[in-house]
Structure 1
């Protein structure tokens, strides 16, 4: 392997905990856990509309804003100003890394090229990395290929960017469906356990599944397994 490509939301950064912390600070009367889950619940349906052609191409920052507009009235926040809405919608650019992520990526970077392969757009991923100290060699996004995962265009696009056969690339993710799609395109795969991705109220099953070449408890464990 020469390149490790990373899913970001949930795998490298804690979207749920980050949104909960921001909501508790800004709007303490709102159920922050329910708000975070409701916002994320609109994620896959929004991507599916774009993939199906029911909606034209839009970067994830734009989709996140549209999802936010849908849920604000439900949580008593319909009164927010445009500036407040814009600031809140950009919380996805301010997500905190999991505690092991920065050190784990730094170790993996000593041996491999490390890049994002995320549905997040380039501006979002770049600002997130700058704030959280994520040491990417490269930032690749669904925006780079005008397609959202699990479209094969994303995984094949990764191989094209680095001019490598798929077997020399690996996707690292906390989502089995993402990894399965990558394997279908010939990539190697590594699963990372993130049992609290959806918070303590919805603990994920992180049991190993067949097909993944590697299974790690965290990015530091992945680095250890890969000799970094």
Structure 2
């Protein structure tokens, strides 16, 4: 064990990143090079905005396609869905007055849609319920075109204050444990180095004393 510690070993340059920032990177659809089907967040905070996620990846990327996206909403206790949004590139239509001016397209910006996400602004408690995203896709095949429909359901709950996610709590606990372990390790290293330096000093002093005795 070396008694020469770098600043990194002392923890001076260990960056502590926010889990929320990491999650934003991994869940941002446009930042991914390949399509990945990620579930939508199911909890929104009243008065803030919320992204309703809807991703349907094609099995064969080399096949071109044309896709339209429809969003439906069903409030709690109701049996029928209300058609609230339709997108056919490049036109987005809000079809329900309750969502007028509050829905914004955040999906793929061309005909071959794989991300059908919409952003709901100024969320209210009345927005709680079931959202149904339907992608109607036409695959342009050499022999005959193929029609495919994919449905994604999102159960949205609106709360007054955001609840801390379990993953965030676990990450903070693990970070605390890591810091404690590093501090204990640092104390052990300092004790080891102190004993080693003291032993070396005592040996040098003993050699000096022995040399003086011989010369005398």
TM-score (norm: length of structure 1): 0.24
**RCO higher in structure (CA 8 A, sep ≥6):** 1
Rg (Cα) greater in structure? 2
User: Is the strand fraction higher in 1 or 2?
Assistant: 2
TM-score (norm: length of structure 2): 0.25
User: Is the helix fraction higher in 1 or 2?
Assistant: 1
